Amino acid sequence: MGGRPTTITALATYVPPRLLTNADLEQMVDTTDEWILQRTGIRERHLVDPGVATSDLGTAAAVQAIARAGLTPDDIGVIIVGTVTPDMMFPSTACLIQHKIGAHRAWGFDLSAACSAFTYSLTTASQLVASGAHEHALVVGADVMSSIIDYQDRATCVIFGDGAGAVVVSAAEPGAPCILDFEHEIDGAGGQALCMPAGGSLHPASRETVDQRLHYVKQDGATVFKFAVRKTEEVARRILERNGLTAADLDLFVSHQANRRIITSATEKLGVDPGKVIINIERFGNTTAATIPLALNDAVTSGRLKKGHLVLLASVGAGFTVGTVLLRWGF
């Protein structure tokens, strides 16, 4: 990685209390609980109430993470918010969270990498701390996907939920558990397979873009599925081999929670023991930048993730973006 070692010193998550179950969706679109479970592995997802934004979810997780690290907001040097659903085009959601938590000494920015936003943000924060520029960085992965989902489109509305996760990244003591390596890539040729067509400079908001429902997520599910399975295996294998490791060396594999079948297919190809793979998509759906911290939190609270464990994080998202982070868990 270069520079001084870094580690995750605290983790916290937040999901809004309101649930949207498969039974609820059966009343909204032409679908069934059986079909959703079979195709995605999802039973329910959390949705915000009207007026609740990404910065609200991110702030709730951030405040908890900073407290669990034994720090105050003024100890944070930089805030990186991975999100594809910012409160608004500008200012950044990082600015809004910085103000809400009172991190008066921090600078920050948003990072847009869709479902890879947490792995990309974690890597970026780690590099800034490793350089010596900061002692502590706050990474927030948060999305209000319900704000850009078409609840008339049964192909996408069953998949996504809202949520947030935050970690504090700090300098690690020599020899202590730390972030070991990362492997990221992008493939812009797949950009049209998963996107929100309108709302940017190419197609600014207009009566026509609204009437054509272009401000919602559009997905070519088969293309995304095939790419995600292939790339999750490829990039995970590459980072393991570079570090002289195999799948058998892992204590935990934490994938972005997009689809149960993607996770099981990729980990089977990689040769990961199913008992070392965490899947919690049935309770949250795909929360985009929040899925990995939500899965990590479940692993910690269930006792499956402990200090010193070797963990591989993996993600594939719109763009296409691909990300993996290899680390020893720090607490």
Catalytic residue, candidates 22, 259, 280, 286: 286
Q: Which amino acid, residue 126?
A: S
Residue environment code for 80-103, b if the CB has 16+ CB neighbours within 10 A, otherwise e: bbbbbbbbeeeebbbbbbbebbeb
In the block, tokens 């195999």 appear at 246
pTM, 2 dp: 0.98
pLDDT band at 273 (very low <50, low <70, confident <90, very high): very high
Tens of pLDDT, residue by residue over 181-237, are: 999 999 999 999 999 999 999 999 999 999 999 999 999 999 999 999 999 999 999
Task: Give the length of the chain.
Answer: 331
Residue (of 92, 80, 19, 21) closest to 53 by Cα position: 92
Structure tokens that stand for 298 in this block = 């479940």
Q: Is the pLDDT of residue 311 over 90?
A: yes
Please give the C-alpha separations between residue 304 and each of 48, 241, 308, in angstroms, as whole numbers: 29, 24, 12
DSSP assignment letter at 75: G
Catalytic residue, candidates 95, 256, 259, 297: 256
pLDDT over 70 percentage in the chain: 100
Burial of 307 (0-12, 13-18, 19+ CB in 10 A): exposed
In the block, tokens 């970026």 appear at 124
Tens of pLDDT, residue by residue over 23-75, are: 999 999 999 999 999 999 999 999 999 999 999 999 999 999 999 999 999 99
Tens of pLDDT, residue by residue over 96-124, are: 999 999 999 999 999 999 999 999 999 99
Mean of the per-residue pLDDT values of the chain: 98
Burial of 52 (0-12, 13-18, 19+ CB in 10 A): middle
Catalytic residue, candidates 95, 115, 157, 178: 115
Q: Is the pLDDT of residue 95 over 90?
A: yes
Residue environment code for 158-184, b if the CB has 16+ CB neighbours within 10 A, otherwise e: bbbbbbbbbbbbbbbeeeebbbbbbbb
Average pLDDT over residues 287-310: 98
Average pLDDT over residues 287-313: 98
| The predicted structure's pLDDT at residue 2 | 74
- Asked if 315 contacts 82 with a C-beta cutoff of 8 angstroms, the reply is no
For residue 115, indicate whether it is catalytic. yes
- Asked if 178 contacts 327 with a C-beta cutoff of 8 angstroms, the reply is yes
Residues in CB range of 47: below 8 A, 6 or more apart: 16, 18, 19, 20, 146, 161, 162
Tens of pLDDT, residue by residue over 222-260, are: 999 999 999 999 999 999 999 999 999 999 999 999 999
Q: Phi/psi of residue 215, each to 5°?
A: -95, 20
Residue (of 1, 313, 311) closest to 127 by Cα position: 1
Question: Pairing state of beta strands 162-171 and 6-14?
Answer: antiparallel
| The predicted structure's pLDDT at residue 1 | 66
